[in-house]
């Protein structure tokens, strides 16, 4: 009996399930990735779905990712690697129990040996089910892999797919341990980006968590369990070795299948995408009608969709205003649960939603969503002042990257709502009951304000235009930078040294503008404009040097 999901899906010219039942299923790595995607989603997400299924909230798929708080042990979990080549058992660089390709028809002795290996690794209570599934048949063909997948998702360790000598895909190993070398990865990455130095334990202690978070986030995870960490770092290692591969992982906690692959990889990092079951609650009615009319709802009553999210990775650079941004959403698409076709153009994640409305609900105590506070507790209400302050601070931290990229007008609207709550005289007595939470919220607001302000300056310097497309002359940009640094420099040096360092980087970068130096600084000024440019250039240079010294003396 065929599974009830993806019955109309096609890979190349064949239907998905016809392909998986084929005696010699070949195909390119891209086609293998597509087939495995359908197969793993079928087993890991759609088959376990019920009215009580713990859906992934949209915010959980938006970076930065929250650390998982709950384990759903009754749901499937697995990790796997598919290598686009033959295996060389002793030379692979990771440990697994080998299964030997049995051929077609399967060699009886090899099939028996493979069954014995599986029997050793399958949990004891599931061995009768394995015996029932396999009988005396082979274990490594793709059609058998489809049948074995429910058992493989009950194992603690990973499994391996590879090509046999004829180029056909087969199950090449189980009980695999993917090497992570977490200590070495953190230290190497930290030294490469300038956060660590040999012998400097203080710098290591100060920046280790930042480096760890950034390293994991780049590959699609928060700091979390061994299954995800190993998959992430193993994928990085395979890419460094120039392998063609697919790494997949699903945890008991995240309820999402994350794929890391060399296909279309950029910036020396594996491509990252996630797929999960979530609600389309952020879509407007027209969008929901499109989903319904196209048959894309997995559960129309709960408005559940199968959402795939593609991510863009950001290289670390200390001059970046959003220095800790390692990953952002590139695109999102809804996957049809029968045909596998995708529906694009809808914002299920709510990235384009008006966050002023959300903020209004939060400060009024009417917000019904949830957020993770300091990685420790999930808040589901804003009804009382204590949880409202916690929720507001956590929400601003979660959406900091998005808010920082707002236009001045959009950001001011958000700020007005926040201040209407934090500065409300009627709330003063309540705020006084929770001074630490109040100050924490204030501090987060200040950080977001400066991130937004510095992003505007960063874009102005890069584009010589503002958010409305208005072009600026060099002298105007110099005046703006000089004004901001002269007005805010002292306060930043005392209270926000990190933001001052970013501002100085923006100013110093503009002072080195090649056109500016060639056009205005390489000869004596001839016009009033040229004299203005040179004057403001000298003033800004002096201010930059002054505040560099102030930071160095801290």
Looking at the chain, the whole-number percentage of residues with pLDDT higher than 70 is 99
Q: Which residues lie closer than 8 Å to 27 by C-beta, 6 or more apart? A: 11, 12, 19, 35, 169
Confidence at 3, pLDDT banded by 50, 70, 90? low
- Has residue 289 been placed in a domain? no
Q: Compute the residue count for the chain.
A: 554
Q: What is the pLDDT of residues 433-449, one digit of tens each?
A: 999 999 999 999 999 99
Confidence at 303, pLDDT banded by 50, 70, 90? very high
Domain that holds residue 16: 10-177
Q: Which of 112, 146, 177 is the last residue of a domain?
A: 177
Mean pLDDT on 275-285? 93
Q: Which of 155, 177, 199 is the last residue of a domain?
A: 177
Confidence at 240, pLDDT banded by 50, 70, 90? very high
Q: What is the pLDDT of residues 374-392, one digit of tens each?
A: 888 889 888 888 999 999 9
Instruction: Supply the pLDDT for residue 466.
Output: 79
Instruction: Supply the pLDDT for residue 426.
Output: 87
Instruction: Supply the pLDDT for residue 25.
Output: 74
Instruction: Supply the pLDDT for residue 181.
Output: 87
- Has residue 194 been placed in a domain? no
- Has residue 486 been placed in a domain? yes
Place of tokens 């795939």: 308
Mean pLDDT on 268-294? 94
Place of tokens 């002359």: 473
- Has residue 81 been placed in a domain? yes
- Has residue 52 been placed in a domain? yes
Instruction: Supply the pLDDT for residue 1.
Output: 40
Mean pLDDT of the chain: 90
**Higher pLDDT among residues 342 and 226, named by residue:** 342
Residue 143 CA to residue 22 CA, distance in Å, equals: 7
- Has residue 234 been placed in a domain? no
Mean pLDDT on 134-162? 91
Mean pLDDT on 251-276? 93
Query: Does 2 score more than 60 pLDDT?
Result: no
pTM of the shown model: 0.86
Instruction: Supply the pLDDT for residue 517.
Output: 82
Nearest to 137 by CA among 153, 120, 114, 158: 114
Confidence at 306, pLDDT banded by 50, 70, 90? very high
Residue 169 CA to residue 32 CA, distance in Å, equals: 8
Q: Per the structure, how many domains does the chain have?
A: 2
Q: Which residues lie closer than 8 Å to 247 by C-beta, 6 or more apart? A: 79, 80, 81, 82, 178, 231, 234, 235, 238, 259, 260, 261, 270
Instruction: Supply the pLDDT for residue 357.
Output: 86
Q: Which of 177, 193, 211 is the last residue of a domain?
A: 177
- Has residue 25 been placed in a domain? yes
CA atoms within 13 Å, Cβ hemisphere of 337: 22
The runs of H, that is alpha helices, within 301-423 are 355-363, 385-398, 400-404, 408-422
- Has residue 362 been placed in a domain? yes
Q: What is the pLDDT of residues 313-368, one digit of tens each?
A: 998 888 788 888 999 999 999 999 999 999 999 999 988 877 888 899 999 988 87
Q: Residues 382, 385, 387, 388: what is their CA dihedral angle, to the nearest 10 degrees?
A: 50
Question: Cβ of 545: how many Cβ atoms within 10 Å?
Answer: 12
> Is residue 447 within 8 Å of residue 497, measured between CB atoms?
no
Instruction: Supply the pLDDT for residue 33.
Output: 94
Please report the DSSP string for 150-201 in residue order. HHHTTSSSEEEEEE-TTS-EEEEEEEEE----HHHHHHHHHHHTTS--TT-H
Q: What is the pLDDT of residues 501-551, one digit of tens each?
A: 999 999 999 998 888 888 877 778 778 888 888 888 899 999 999 999 988
């Amino acid at each position: 009996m065929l599974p009830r999901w993806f019955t109309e899906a096609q890979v190349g010219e064949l239907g998905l399930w016809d392909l998986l039942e084929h005696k010699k299923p070949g195909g390119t790595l891209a086609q293998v990735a597509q087939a495995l995607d359908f197969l793993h989603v079928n087993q890991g997400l759609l088959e376990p779905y019920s009215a009580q299924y713990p859906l992934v909230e949209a915010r959980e798929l938006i970076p930065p990712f929250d650390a998982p708080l709950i384990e759903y042990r009754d749901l499937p979990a697995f990790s796997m690697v598919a290598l686009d080549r033959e295996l060389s058992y002793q030379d692979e660089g990771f440990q697994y129990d080998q299964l030997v390709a049995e051929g077609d028809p399967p060699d009886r002795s090899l099939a028996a040996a493979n069954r014995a290996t599986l029997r050793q690794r399958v949990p004891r209570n599931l061995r009768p089910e394995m015996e029932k599934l396999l009988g005396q048949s082979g274990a490594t063909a793709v059609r058998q892999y489809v049948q074995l997948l429910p058992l493989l998702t009950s194992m603690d360790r990973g499994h391996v797919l590879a090509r046999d000598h004829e180029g056909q895909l087969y199950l090449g190993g189980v009980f695999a341990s993917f090497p992570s070398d977490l200590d070495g990865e953190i230290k190497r990455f930290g030294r490469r980006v300038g956060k660590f130095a040999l012998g400097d334990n203080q710098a290591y202690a100060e920046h280790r968590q930042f480096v760890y978070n950034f390293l994991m986030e780049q590959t699609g995870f928060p700091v979390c369990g061994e299954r995800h960490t190993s998959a992430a770092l193993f994928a990085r290692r395979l890419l460094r070795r120039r392998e063609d591969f697919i790494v997949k992982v699903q945890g008991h906690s995240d309820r999402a299948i994350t794929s890391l692959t060399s296909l279309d990889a950029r910036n020396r990092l594996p491509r990252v995408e996630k797929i999960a079951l979530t609600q389309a609650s952020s879509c407007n009615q027209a969008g929901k009608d499109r989903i319904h009319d196209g048959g894309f709802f997995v559960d129309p009553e709960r408005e559940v969709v199968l959402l795939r999210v593609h991510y863009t990775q950001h290289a670390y650079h200390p001059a970046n205003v959003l220095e800790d941004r390692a990953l952002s959403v590139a695109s999102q698409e809804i996957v049809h649960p029968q045909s596998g076709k995708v529906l694009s153009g809808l914002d299920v994640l709510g990235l384009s939603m008006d966050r002023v409305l959300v903020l209004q609900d939060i400060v009024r105590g009417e917000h019904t969503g949830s957020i993770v506070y300091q990685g420790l507790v999930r808040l589901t209400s804003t009804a009382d002042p204590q949880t409202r302050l916690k929720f507001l601070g956590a929400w601003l931290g979660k959406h900091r990257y998005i808010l920082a990229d707002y236009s001045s007008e959009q950001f001011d609207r958000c700020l007005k709502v926040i201040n209407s709550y934090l500065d409300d005289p009627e709330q003063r007595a309540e705020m006084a009951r929770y001074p630490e939470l109040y100050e924490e919220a204030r501090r987060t607001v200040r950080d977001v304000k400066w991130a937004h302000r510095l992003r505007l300056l960063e874009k102005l310097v890069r584009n010589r235009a503002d958010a409305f497309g208005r072009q600026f002359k060099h002298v105007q940009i110099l005046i703006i930078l000089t004004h901001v640094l002269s007005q805010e420099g002292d306060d930043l040096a005392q209270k926000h040294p990190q933001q001052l360092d970013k501002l100085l980087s923006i100013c110093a970068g503009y002072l080195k503008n090649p056109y500016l130096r060639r056009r205005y600084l390489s000869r004596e000024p001839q016009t009033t404009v040229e004299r203005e440019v040179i004057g403001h250039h000298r003033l800004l240079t002096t201010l930059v040097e002054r505040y560099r010294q102030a930071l160095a003396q801290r």
